[in-house]
Structure 1
Amino acid sequence: MAICLIGVGRMGEHIAANLARAGYQVHAYDIDPERGVAVLAHGARLAASAEQAAAGADVLLTVLPGPAEVAAAVNSTVLEALAADATWIDMSSNTPAASEPLVQRAAAHGVNVLEAPIGGSPTDAATGQLRLFVGGEEAVLARHRRMLSAVATRITHVGGHGTGYTAKLLVNLLWFGQAVATAEALLLAQRVGIDVEVMAETLATGPASSAFIHDNLPSLLTGDYLPVFGLDHIRDQLAAVTDLAERLGTPHSLADAVRQVHEEALEQYGPLDGELLAVALLEKRAGMLLRAATGPQD
């Protein structure tokens, strides 16, 4: 099976490596030539253009930052270059609304479509332990499950087109919401004189515990704002959730609040990489940092 992979960033490079290691022919392309060179060491081939990478490929994988990049990459020329009955699998952080015209475009070219946005970190990508939220036809997923198992240990089919993107957006909404709520609680605790590590342990062992508190709060308490995803893309994802809720008539007041603080963080810091930069904004407003006693103090 020949695979065209477009997008060789923090996640795409590891995905290309794991697929090549599993025995697949991987033809990679990235708009940044220097970034693309990294895949050569992993046994993948580097193409000079997206069309060249797609030529005769059975699968097109897109691993890109957001909807605009996906729309630019999945054009008619690329789709026409694929093999007959090929499948496009979008592993990007996309939205149902933005992807709909691309799904129709792919169908017009006889290309099957799956969405499989990624859950996990670059470390998870390197070890092949990603989580995929898959939307699309179950029969198409069955055709490609073995290939996807080379990069992910949890592959969840959540429904038809659009549901995979939505599931990932909702997971992100809750994670960012937990980050903001936890930071506000810890800042207040610290203000009244409770040691931040004592409060963190109290939260971790009580009914307010969460995956964020167990897995990510320790990094935050060392001053790590997790610079693996752009604040502008985070804002766009949260906006996609609140816009969808508004259109479908479901409550979204808490989602609005999470979106607002991230919009304000974007205004403060610009489109920097940092999944916890909204917490940095809250620290700035409180005039104090959330740091463990052994962590950096500046």
Structure 2
Amino acid sequence: MQVGFIGLGNVGGQLAGSLLRNGLDVMVRDLDDALMATFKEKGALVAGSPKELAAACDVVITCLPSPAVCSHVMEADDGVIAGIKADAVWLEMSTTDEAEIRRIAEKVQAKGALAVDCPVSGGCHRAGTGNISIFAGCERSAFDKVLPILTTMGRRVIHTGPLGSASKLKIITNYLCSVHLLALSEALTSAQVMGLDMNVTYEAIKASSGNSFVHETESQVILNGSRDISFTLDLVSKDVGLFDEVAKRHGLPLELAPLVVDIFKDGQARYGDREFSPNIIRRLEDACGVKVLGKGFPAQMVDDEPEEPGYEVKIPFRSDY
């Protein structure tokens, strides 16, 4: 089976690396020739276009930075849809708009191929070790077909329901992550201004009801000073914006979401699109005239768990089957 992977960025490159590391035949495509050359050295084939890749592969995976980029890669004259084979599978692993997923999926299905939205969650450091979580939205029969590939790239795989459901859950979880990051920015800055020891503060939060995955990861790179979580303000703004838009389409009168969108847009305006997302704390550091730092924290997160075989997470009492 030939697997094609389009988009070798911070997350995509790690996922494609897991496929190669586990012995699958992989073909790659990216706008960065240097990235493709790196994968070629590791044994991957290189495609000249998304169409060429799709024509050669049984499974086509896209992991791209925005809905607009994904739509172009799929629908251009030299795009995936122009080359995809009947009975092939398209796995969309980007964080994107579920309505756009379903629109493009209709074109993929018209070519006789299957479509699955399967975004990932857990951070780049876990993508690199094959321990990331994966959501998959599709018919159960399609899920069973792609499960062996998904468990090669990730550890915990959840069938979320029909096409589009995975993307809805992904933007919900990314929204929560972003809210936690803003709350931690306020909490850590407050601790600094109040004169608390920041190492003690970190451990106290970790041991308390205020703990979260975001605290255990992003607080560490905040306190190191690197703020390097391999994720940037423009991507957070995109994700929380997607959540806010989908919520509005459903008529939800949300209160926090519009504020979160505005805060991250303000961070972009102040510090630039490509500033690391944990540096949203700079808005408070600058206002208070402090630098929130601890001692001995890592500059980047490293997944110290050994790579383990992936598996489907079984959901008790689910209502859809």
TM-score by length of 2: 0.86
Q: Secondary structure at the match of 1:132?
A: strand
Separation in structure 2 between the aligned mates of residue 232 and residue 13 of structure 1, nearest angstrom: 19
Task: Name the counterpart of 2:214.
Answer: 212
Separation in structure 1 between the aligned mates of residue 215 and residue 227 of structure 2, nearest angstrom: 14
Task: Name the counterpart of 1:30.
Answer: 30
After the TM superposition, which of the residue ranges 120-129 and 26-35 deviates more from structure 2?
Answer: 120-129
By how many angstroms is 1:146 displaced? 0.7
Task: Name the counterpart of 2:119.
Answer: 117
Task: Name the counterpart of 1:137.
Answer: 139
Q: Is 1:198 aligned to 2:200, yes or no?
A: yes
Distance 1:211 1:12, change over 3 A: closer
- Alignment check: 8 A CA contact 2:205 2:211 kept: yes
Select the residue among 259, 262, 270 that pairs with 2:264.
Answer: 262
Select the residue among 127, 130, 134 that pairs with 2:129.
Answer: 127
Q: Which contiguous aligned blocks of 4+ residues in structure 1 show a shift greater than 6 angstroms?
A: none
Task: Name the counterpart of 2:228.
Answer: 226
Letter in 2 for 1:233: L
Number of residue equivalences: 296
- Alignment check: 8 A CA contact 1:117 1:134 kept: yes
Separation in structure 2 between the aligned mates of residue 120 and residue 201 of structure 1, nearest angstrom: 21
Letter in 1 for 2:146: H
Matches within 5 A, 1:50-129: 50-75=50-75, 77-129=79-131
Task: Name the counterpart of 1:288.
Answer: 290
Identity between Structure 1 and Structure 2 (%): 27
By how many angstroms is 1:190 displaced? 2.1
Deviation string 1:143-174 (CA, Å, 9 cap, x unpaired) is: 01111111111111111122111111111111
Separation in structure 1 between the aligned mates of residue 201 and residue 16 of structure 2, nearest angstrom: 42
Letter in 2 for 1:151: M
Structure of higher RCO (CA pairs closer than 8 Å, 6+ residues apart): 2
Structure 2 portions without partners, runs of 5+: 299-321
Separation in structure 1 between the aligned mates of residue 217 and residue 11 of structure 2, nearest angstrom: 19
After the TM superposition, which of the residue ranges 100-109 and 132-141 deviates more from structure 2?
Answer: 100-109
By how many angstroms is 1:293 displaced? 4.4
- Alignment check: 8 A CA contact 1:80 1:109 kept: no
- Alignment check: 8 A CA contact 1:227 1:275 kept: yes
User: What value does the CA root-mean-square deviation take over the aligned residues?
Assistant: 1.9
Task: Name the counterpart of 1:6.
Answer: 6
Separation in structure 2 between the aligned mates of residue 215 and residue 293 of structure 1, nearest angstrom: 15
- Alignment check: 8 A CA contact 2:6 2:28 kept: yes
Letter in 2 for 1:237: D
Distance 1:42 1:120, change over 3 A: farther
Separation in structure 1 between the aligned mates of residue 38 and residue 6 of structure 2, nearest angstrom: 13
Letter in 2 for 1:63: C
After the TM superposition, which of the residue ranges 189-198 and 67-76 deviates more from structure 2?
Answer: 189-198
Letter in 2 for 1:12: G
Task: Name the counterpart of 1:188.
Answer: 190
Separation in structure 2 between the aligned mates of residue 188 and residue 20 of structure 1, nearest angstrom: 45
Letter in 2 for 1:42: K
